Amino acid sequence: MNISKHHPLHTRTIKIFRYDPCVNGEGHFDRFETEIADETKTTILDVLIRIQKEQDPSLSFRYACRVNMCGSCGMVINGREGLACKTNVADLPKDKEITLRPLNHFPVVKDLVVDMDPFFKKYEASMPYFDPTEDLTEPAIIRPDSKERRIIGLATECIQCGCCVSSCTMVNYHDSYAGPAALNRAFTLLADSRDGLYDLRMNQVLQSCYHCRTEFNCTEVCPKEISPTRAIKHIQRLALKKYARGKRQGPLERTEGAIQAIQTDLPCGRSGASEFPESPERRRFLKQATFGIGAVSTLALGAVLGTAAIGPSIKKTPKRWIHLKSMEALAVGKVSTVVMTYDVQNGFHKSRVSKPVMIVRQLDINNIVVFNTTCTHLGCTVHWDENKKLYVCACHGGMFDQEGNVSAGPPPRPLDRYAFKVEDGHLFVEVV
């Protein structure tokens, strides 16, 4: 074990849920003690791997990418859902043991490993695939700053980790509830003007939206800063708008026969609305709640929802300057990685963004570059490799030279750069 000269060892107690299907029973917690040299550079996943290697090889947990993009290592950490590979030990309360549990609402396979089948069945039933309208002329150009793209926002970044589903109390009460992740995915397609399956998709998911009680738990825990709550409210808003316009046939206005006819035509053998069966009472309630209140009240409700739940988030957010570091703290002629932190208001919800940026500083103040660490291929995190003298994306082999230009791998364009300014000896970058 490498022990840093600069960091004293800290002993942490990790309490981990254990369940062995060969033993059965209710499961129990085991405690492990582990010494950590630098908690700021040690994730919960690092800790689990060490415990498995050094103390108990039978400990089971799931992981793959280690860089917050595969969604495999979702678990409940000190009572809150998160990715083990994204949670630093230093961010958990000191002098308290760390508790690790498997995700809620999923069958436990072993220890921290859950069966994700129920998640993906519901995800699949919400029709998560894109099927373009017939008259689409490819390539469809959607500008990143267009209103449509801004409304969809971060929702396309979902990695299907299941954290949101685990945090949602409504999942526990409604077997038929599609859950936040599936509804978030449906939203990204319903809000896409190229979507050729709008009516069918809406039919699949609208009823499920009414199980949401706007608790924001999913939004609080999502490791990708997505707000499934906003997505759910947006689906309801789309349905209300459509009804108010009266241009298309409302999804709940379809006859059962028509729905069944559509289900038999679903591509890829996907099943239809029966994946989320609703009782007749619930259907009647939903129908009345959504379509029975008349055009005037619908418009009013739509306006309220639009303004209160969604409006603030689709307004163009003003650009802001975020403080990074004092210039003195940035080494000249080197690449420094600094984590910038700022708040983002998303409707009612305020979330905190923590994102690393890479700063190349030369003596000349006009010779500073601040690179975005997001790989332009699939959004993985890029880091500076001092040996290779390249910016490297560990996941898909993407590499960028010192100017940020692509030197290897699949990235389609150079690294993005932040606008910056230096004031009173401090460096600031502009974020939207």
What is the contact surface with ligand SF4 in residues (CB under 6 A)?
158-164, 180-181, 184, 222-224, 226, 228
Please list, residue by residue across 391-404, b when 16 or more beta carbons sit within 10 angstroms of its beta carbon and e when fewer do: bbbebeebbbeeeb
Nearest approach, Cβ of residue 342 and ligand SF4 (Å): 20
Nearest approach, Cβ of residue 167 and ligand SF4 (Å): 8
Nearest approach, Cβ of residue 28 and ligand SF4 (Å): 28
Cis preceding linkage at 139, omega within 30? yes
Query: 157 or 401: whose CB is closer to ligand SF4?
Result: 157
Nearest approach, Cβ of residue 70 and ligand SF4 (Å): 11
Nearest approach, Cβ of residue 179 and ligand SF4 (Å): 8
Query: 122 or 377: whose CB is closer to ligand SF4?
Result: 122
Query: 80 or 96: whose CB is closer to ligand SF4?
Result: 80
Query: 105 or 323: whose CB is closer to ligand SF4?
Result: 105
Q: What is the dihedral of CA 419, 86, 79, 74, to 10 degrees?
A: 120
Q: Rounded distance, CA 227 to CA 217, Å?
A: 9
Query: 55 or 172: whose CB is closer to ligand SF4?
Result: 172
Query: 171 or 222: whose CB is closer to ligand SF4?
Result: 222
Query: 61 or 243: whose CB is closer to ligand SF4?
Result: 61
353: nearest Cα among 86, 79, 40: 86
Adjacent-strand bridge partners of 267: none
Query: 223 or 347: whose CB is closer to ligand SF4?
Result: 223
Nearest approach, Cβ of residue 221 and ligand SF4 (Å): 6
Query: 108 or 218: whose CB is closer to ligand SF4?
Result: 218
Nearest approach, Cβ of residue 268 and ligand SF4 (Å): 21
Query: 60 or 72: whose CB is closer to ligand SF4?
Result: 72
Nearest approach, Cβ of residue 219 and ligand SF4 (Å): 9
Nearest approach, Cβ of residue 230 and ligand SF4 (Å): 11
Nearest approach, Cβ of residue 89 and ligand SF4 (Å): 21
305: nearest Cα among 390, 243, 353, 361: 243
